[in-house]
């Protein structure tokens, strides 16, 4: 494997991206024209046809491990399995982690796992990245484990516009002015009231009431607070 190329001979090479561009049968035709034995072509394409039916990362890596044997580093199998298991177990958003052995990133500094973020509505990637453990070392002399990604901002904006997304209106800003020496047990009630108001979309500030209450309100109004709720110990 050399960066974005998978070599099939000393002179000829087939890019992994070709599988996405011209499909399995197209790659078979290209390999046949280049003189590769049909038996080898069948083995190669049978593997990718099998992987096409496998979306689960752990299952896909398992298939590659069984088919490629010693040609696939055991550490790669372990790391990919750990990543997939951890992501699926801890993800807080709704998305599917999909195995794609034909994925290629154009940059040469990647040193390990790569990924892309795709949305069915777009039909293309709107973000991507991967590991680049040796990149920082080129500048500092010490290799540093690193992982990063970039996003297609314009593509995401386009998706939002097509889905009818509207920028939320600014929340109503309310200031809760609490009298000094307000009892702790009652203050808990104030904090819970503020919590409920925030859950309903308001921006709530809880502050102690100053002696010069008029001046305090004037300053808060300059910050956009339009409503004041006062709490007294009575």
Residues 59-112: tens digit of each pLDDT = 988 988 888 888 888 888 888 888 889 888 888 888 899 998 878 777 788 888
H/E stretch holding 27 reads helix 17-33
**pLDDT for 46 beyond 60:** yes
Give residue 164's region: left, alpha or beta (phi > 0; psi -120 to 50). Answer: left
**Percent of the chain's residues with pLDDT above 70:** 90
Sorted by where each begins, the domain ranges of the chain are 5-162, 173-231
The arithmetic mean of pLDDT across residues 21-34, rounded, is 77
* pLDDT tens-digit map of 218-228: 999 999 999 99
What is the C-alpha R_g of the chain?
29
CATH number of the 5-162 domain: 3.30.930.10
Average pLDDT over residues 22-42: 81
CB 233 within 8 A of CB 186: yes
Cα 110 to Cα 65, 106, 126, 148: the distances in Å are 22, 9, 19, 10
pLDDT at 184: 83
pLDDT at 232 over 60: yes
């Amino acid at each position: 494997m050399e960066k974005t190329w998978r070599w099939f001979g000393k002179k000829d090479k087939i890019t992994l991206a070709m599988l996405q561009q011209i499909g399995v049968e197209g790659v078979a035709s290209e390999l046949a024209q280049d003189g590769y034995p049909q038996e080898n072509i069948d083995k190669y394409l049978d593997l990718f046809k099998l992987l096409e039916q496998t979306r689960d990362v752990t299952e896909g890596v398992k298939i590659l491990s069984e088919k490629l044997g010693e040609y696939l580093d055991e550490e790669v199998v372990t790391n990919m399995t750990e990543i997939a298991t951890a992501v699926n177990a801890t993800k807080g958003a709704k998305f599917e982690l999909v195995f794609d052995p034909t994925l290629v990133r154009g940059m040469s500094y990647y040193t390990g796992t790569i990924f892309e973020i795709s949305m069915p509505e777009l039909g293309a990637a709107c973000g991507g990245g991967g590991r680049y453990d040796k990149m920082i070392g080129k500048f500092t002399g010490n290799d540093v484990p690193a992982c990063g990604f970039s996003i297609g901002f314009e593509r995401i904006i386009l998706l939002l516009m097509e889905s009818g997304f509207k920028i939320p209106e600014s929340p109503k800003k309310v200031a809760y002015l609490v009298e000094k020496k307000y009892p702790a047990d009652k203050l808990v009630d104030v904090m819970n009231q503020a919590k409920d108001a925030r859950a309903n979309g308001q921006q709530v500030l809880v502050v102690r009431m100053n002696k010069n209450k008029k001046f305090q309100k004037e300053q808060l109004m300059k910050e956009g607070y339009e409503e004041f709720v006062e709490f007294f110990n009575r």
